Amino acid sequence: MQIDESCAELRSLLEKAVLRNLCEGILLSGGLDTSIIAYLAFHHAKLRAFTVAFDGAPAPDLEYARLMAKSLDIDHTVHIFDEHELLESIPMVIKVVKSFDPMEIRNSASIFVGLKLAKERGIKSVMTGDGGDELFAGYSFLFNLNKEELDDRLVKMWGDMFFSSIPMGRSLGIDVKLPYLDPEFKSYAMNLDSGYKIKSEEHQIWGKWLLRKAFEGRLPETIIWRVKTPIEYGSGTTVLTDIFEKRIEDSEFEEKKQRYMKEDRVIIRDKEQLYYYGIYRSVIGVPHKMEHSSKNCPFCNSDVLETAKYCKVCGAYPV
């Protein structure tokens, strides 16, 4: 199949997926995935975009989201949240996602703040770009695999996809829709040759290659070729690591780390995780092995899939 034909097919199928999942709002990070959704939705509905970032932290999402919103001339709300608002959101995030994995919490906290903002502005349904990286091999750790290894890793990834935006939206009373996971488009993406997903362009390896090529000339070039940026970096919530390093004394960390190891058989890695585990322990309980499970995390005893390489509850890797 010619590249032009492949690009046209992808655009057509994704536009149909967006139409089937059309919402009033979108969480716009300015990354490739949300920018494409915004571009396609803009042609069919009056769309309101929401972008959040931590006050004072490097948050590149702001620049790119503003650029995308301006290029489409859409209603764009930017919300800069402070430490108080961020910390206030964490207990609900932990309760909903049932995890004390620092990376998961940093990412999900930004999404929660964004969804909460949309609700406060009267929005009842929101689209996200979740699924684009998984379906089109957007993660850099996939780039150096050979084709057989890549195909195998993608299939395993697809069998264990979880996006916190859905349960967090439910907890807030907001309908969250994921156009990339629309059944017809998801099937197309899963069956697309992985050679179209990871490819070199201008002497650099890119994930989501066909997705990028399909929207060249339609989105700003800096967004088309924007390098994948995790939510925690794009929104600035990586500051949480430093926040807890300063808030928790070394003596408190050592005392609680030893106590949780002795009482709960849970291994705590750092002060940030200690904070999250304290909340997890109080709202969910001590993680433990289920009788039917065949594999458990050696760091927190939670069940993990037989094929899993990391623990979704505590973030331990490898397991």
- Same domain for 214 and 120, yes or no, is yes
Average pLDDT over residues 22-48: 97
**242 located within any domain:** no
Structure confidence at residue 288 (pLDDT): 86
Structure confidence at residue 1 (pLDDT): 59
3-state SS class at 236: coil
Predicted TM-score of the model (pTM): 0.95
Lookup: tokens for 211:
């997705």
Letter for the amino acid at 107?
A: N
Split at pLDDT 50, 70, 90, the class of 289 is confident
Structure confidence at residue 307 (pLDDT): 80
- Same domain for 224 and 299, yes or no, is no
Structure confidence at residue 249 (pLDDT): 98
Lookup: tokens for 186:
């998801």
Asked whether residue 314 carries a pLDDT value surpassing 90, the answer given is yes
- Same domain for 206 and 156, yes or no, is yes
**128 located within any domain:** yes
Q: What is the pLDDT of residues 88-103, one digit of tens each?
A: 999 999 999 999 999 9
3-state SS class at 287: coil
**319 located within any domain:** no
Asked whether residue 216 carries a pLDDT value surpassing 90, the answer given is yes
Split at pLDDT 50, 70, 90, the class of 260 is very high
- Same domain for 190 and 252, yes or no, is no
Asked whether residue 293 carries a pLDDT value surpassing 80, the answer given is no
**310 located within any domain:** no
| 235, 270, 285 - which closes a domain | 235
Structure confidence at residue 294 (pLDDT): 77
**316 located within any domain:** no
- Same domain for 255 and 189, yes or no, is no
**94 located within any domain:** yes
Q: What is the CATH number of the domain that holds 104?
A: 3.40.50.620
**39 located within any domain:** yes
Average pLDDT over residues 23-30: 98
- Same domain for 115 and 254, yes or no, is no
Strand partners, 79: 52
3-state SS class at 296: strand
Q: How far apart are CA 13 and CA 7, in angstroms?
A: 10
User: Are 113 and 27 within 8 A, CB to CB?
Assistant: no
Structure confidence at residue 253 (pLDDT): 98
- Same domain for 263 and 229, yes or no, is no
**Residue-number span of the structural domain to which 288 is assigned:** 248-305
Structure confidence at residue 290 (pLDDT): 77
Query: What total number of domains does the chain contain?
Result: 2
Lookup: tokens for 50:
């929401």
| 183, 203, 235 - which closes a domain | 235
**243 located within any domain:** no
High-pLDDT (> 90) share of the chain, %: 93
User: Are 186 and 180 within 8 A, CB to CB?
Assistant: yes
- Same domain for 152 and 266, yes or no, is no
| 210, 235, 260 - which closes a domain | 235
- Same domain for 153 and 79, yes or no, is yes
Q: What is the pLDDT of residues 89-138, one digit of tens each?
A: 999 999 999 999 999 999 999 999 999 999 999 999 999 999 999 999 99
- Same domain for 19 and 159, yes or no, is yes
Average pLDDT over residues 218-242: 97
- Same domain for 173 and 283, yes or no, is no
- Same domain for 225 and 252, yes or no, is no
Mean pLDDT, the chain, rounded, equals: 96
